Structure formats: structure tokens, C-alpha cells
Chains A and B, each alone.
Chain A
Amino acid sequence: MSSAADAHRRRRRAQPPAEQTFADLMNGFSLDSGRKRARTSAPVPEREATPVVPQEVGVATFEPTVREPEDASIVRAYAWTGGRTRSNINLEIETLVSANDQSRQSAGILQAEHQHVVELCRSPRSVAEVAALMRLPLGVVKVLLGDMAERGLVDVHQTASAGGDTPDLGLMERVLSGLRRL
């Protein structure tokens, strides 16, 4: 009799974590989980939120209907971007971005992934470098950096060839003299 009650209690104790896990999973898929986290503005431990993206992932895993828990982290990466795959700001892979005074001042209250970018960009880094060092796909990083630039958290520096045009002669001259000095 008492053992049955114990078992019942055990079951009840076991339930909340199970619900938690499921809720976590669902949060991973919800498109604005990033924004929700920002509203609570509780400082999130950086390491916990460090995104680890599986290296070999098929395109199919980005369909919103995917349910496998092991894909949650990369889905979460896309959740930061609100499911968008394009940025409003034109970023080439070699475009340099750097943290500015505003991001340094608001360092404590940023979303973990924004915090991460600010840390990385204390010295200027290219979009490609941010993607490589954060181990995130280029597309995700472009959207992330585009958002941060729109909110004034990073400065986006001029890329000589922005807009797909070839670099101008002035830049080529500069590259040439730079190479000669190497």
C-alpha cells in the first residue's frame, strides 16, 4: 500500500523534469525564443549558451517540422534569426565588424549570442572570422550581425567591393603597396 503511494510520489517527482525537457525542446523550435530571453534580461551564463553546431547537417534539418532533439541546437541558431536567412544589411564575407562603445556599455544585459559576438569583435573581425570562431553557418552569422548592426551594437566597416562590384583602383593600389611591404 505504502509502496504504491511511494511509486505515485516518485512518478510525480519525476514528472516536472520531463515536462521541462519537452518545454526546452519546444523553446528550441519556437521562432522568437531569442527575443523572449532578451525581455527577461537575466544574465545568461555564456558557456551554457555557446552554440555548438553539428558539422554535418543536411539542409532538410532546417525544415520547421524536424523533431529530432539532436538538431535542436542548429534550429536554435536559426531561432535567433527569427527563421530569417537574409539580413537587411549587406555583408560580404570579408566585411569587417567591430564592437563599439554602446555594446561595451551594455555588455551585461545582452543576449548570450550577442555578448559572444561583442567579445569576439573587440578587435575588428570579418564576417567569415566570426562565422569560423563561433562555429556557425555563414548565413546565420550574417543575420545575427545584421541585427546587431541595426541595433547599433557593432560597427560595420566599408567593404571596398560592396555590392558585388570589383574593387576600385585606389584599393588595388593599396593592396599592392601593402603586399610589397610584407
Chain B
Amino acid sequence: MTHFDAAAAAVQAALDAGARYADARVMHRRTESMSARNGEIEDLSQDEDAGVGVRALVGSGWGFYAVPDMSDPAARAAGTRAAKIAAASASVPGPATGLIPLPAATGSWSSPCEIDPLSVPLSDKAELMVGLTTTMREHGADLAESHYRIWDTAKWFVSSEGHRIDQRFRECGGGITATSIGDGESQRRSYGNQYGTRGWEMVTGLDLPGNAARVAIESRELLTAAPCPAGQTSLILGSEQMALQIHESVGHAIELDRILGWEAAYAGTSWLDLSQLGSMRYGSALMNIAIDPTIPGALGSFGFDDEGTPAAARYAVHEGRWVGVLAGRDSASVAGLDYAGSVRSDGWARLPMVRMTNVGLEPGPHTLEEIIASTDDGIFMDTNRSWSIDDRRLNFQFGCEIGWEIKNGKIGRMLRNPTYTGIGPTFWQSMDMLSSEVTAWGIPNCGKGQPGQTGHTGHPAAPARFTDVRVGVTG
């Protein structure tokens, strides 16, 4: 019995039990993670999970059931159970649920991978991780930590509408962190923490060894750096922090399930109003945000989403105007839209839901050097340390690991504990310079949903300048 057979059996059982639509995902995932601390391996884990998850639509009610067993009887039982759960949903019905049309498709897709990350000898990986922490300790870090993570996921998708798709994702990444402990506070500098749908070349390309000494030295210097001043100023963000800014204040805000209120009780809603899609100004004319799961090697890339919709790029924000959302087939139907393609699940045991794919900025006309040179008075911040945003994705406060004063077009003294706060559309409309130096950052820990799911998202981002931003908020 193939994995396709198991998925098909689950779908058929759901239909036999009364579902008008059903789909099933068989998934087999192997992961490996290693972390080192102060010259020793602190944790090494190799994990495996496999199972089938079935989604059934009975009337307007969804049901989902998952089991870690791909045998024919188990798959059929899961399909039947999913349909029964869906029937229970009908006792408290919501608005009528439909699915926008999706042509039946068969296909295969694999992420690019030059070096299979699970085939790299553990001894080589351990030597790298330990060596990184040794270097950071030698350069003054009280705590030196390094890590990598690898996911190797195979999926087989079958729907009652004729989809039959298999995909293989190899994802990995890693990073280093140096922490220096002072009398009243600790300071941290990190590097890397970058992930993609790529092989081990993703990690070697980061040049972690070449940055270990620098982050250690900077973490130590931060202990005696001047505090970030409080006030309103021009703010320059590095591309890594920009990725987080995009993720939190654009990516989540354009999730259609949030806009429709489906996440109201937990993750929250969105300040965006569907009636303004296509007309509302989100940011300055420099702001072009694309939803693009086709970027080779980016963490949010795929061939098909978890409903079988082929990957396709579209704008979310074009020249500052809000024009697109992240949608699934059911949410698009409710909203009257004709596209989906942004539904994913965190493994076979979780319900597919609207998630970010790659959501990021297109290149601007400037360089970081030009941005700094044209700033008379401002602060440059980079690398996220803390993030908080309200349940409508409007009011944010982000803290960065490091800042620098900008005076008369030049980088000045280092600043510790830099923070900035603002309101999403006001902030984005103040973006007056944007670099062309785009990096496709990957965030592997995006939380959403109940039960909780962790998503992998990509965010092309470049350094940018924002005007009149409140900085230096402290407790």
C-alpha cells in the first residue's frame, strides 16, 4: 500500500460517511537539531513522525482527525471519524462554507538541495557547533551558544476533487548567540538564525565562523554602551529586523482568516477591512510587498499549498496600496475572492490553515550606505530581541539587539537596549528610503492556531528608513 493509497482510503471513507468534500495528507518528517553551549554539545535530537490527517466537509461544517498510522484500516477509520466530527460542527453552524474552484492536479515538487543536510556527518556538525562557541568564549562572551535545525518532510496529498500531489521539503538553518552578563542586565548579539528550503549549503553559506568573534565582542561592548535615547527620530532598520517588521505588521495583517474573524479569540483579527482591498493606502509608494511561494530556497516556498493549489506570486501591497491577501479556498469563498494558495499545516496531525508563505519587500532604489549618508540625525537598529503587537496588528513595540547613533550621515556610537514603537500604516507610510539589498530571511517559529501550530515563513527584506518614529521606550 502506497502513501497515496492511504490518503485515498481516508478520503473515500470520509465521503462514504457523508462528507461532500474531503482531503488527506500523509506526511513523514525527520528532523535533527543540535545545540552547543560554552564548548559542549548541550542537546542533540533526531526525531521522526509520520501519520495521516483527514479533513472532511459535511454541509458547512469541517471536521479533522489524525492518526500516526498509515495502514488502510487506520486511514479509513480516520476518514470516518473526521466526517463524524464535521457533523457535530453543524449543531452550531456558522456562515455557509464553500470552496473556490480548483482544477484537479497531479504533480511532484522538491525543494532545491545541493547537500543533503541529514547526510552530513554528525561529527562534522558537532565540531562546527562546538568550535563556534569556543570562539565566542575566547572573545568575551559569558554564554556562547550555537545551533542548527534540519527538517526533511515528505507529503502525499489526495483530495476528493482529484488531486494527487507529492512534495519533499528539505529545510535547514542555524545561528549563533553571544550573551554577556552585567550587574543589572544581560546583552545579547546573534548572527545567522537564518533558514531556508535548502540543503546544508544554507548553513555553510552563512559563514558562522567568520562572525563568531564579532558577535561576542559586540555583546560585551553593549554592556557599557550608551542607552538608546527616548524620543522621535529617523529610524533605519537593518534587513533582519525588517523581516520581523514585515512578518508581524504586514504578513499577519493580510491573513484572510484573521480579517474574517476566524482567529478573533486568540491570534486576533486585522485592522484591514475587505471593503478597502484594492484602494487603501498601506504605506509609502516605495512599499511593494509580494506573496511569493515560488522563490527558490526561501523558507516559505513550495510547489503546492496544503490544499493542492499551485504556488503563484501576487502582490499584497503594490506601490503602497493594499491589493492582496493570504487566503485559502474556504476563506476566499466567504470573502468573494477568486484565489487561494496560502494554506499550510504543521504536520499531519494539524488542520491546514491560512499561513504566510514568502511575504516580503521588493527591492528599493537605494543602498544602506546611501540611506545612512543621507540621514542627519537618527538611529540604526538591527536584529530582533523582542516583539509585541496588538491583536489587530496595528500597535507594535519591537526591541533590537543593537543600535547605532547616526549623525550627519555617519555611524556613531553604539546604543544598547534600542526599542521602537508605532502604528502599522503610519509607520509604513513614513518609509522614505528603501535599499535594493534584499535578503530572503526565514522564520521557522511562527505560532498560530488552536491547537497551536508552528509555521515556516519567508521574508525578503532590505534596509529601510522611517521618519519620526518613537524610540527608546523602557520600563
A complexed with B: no
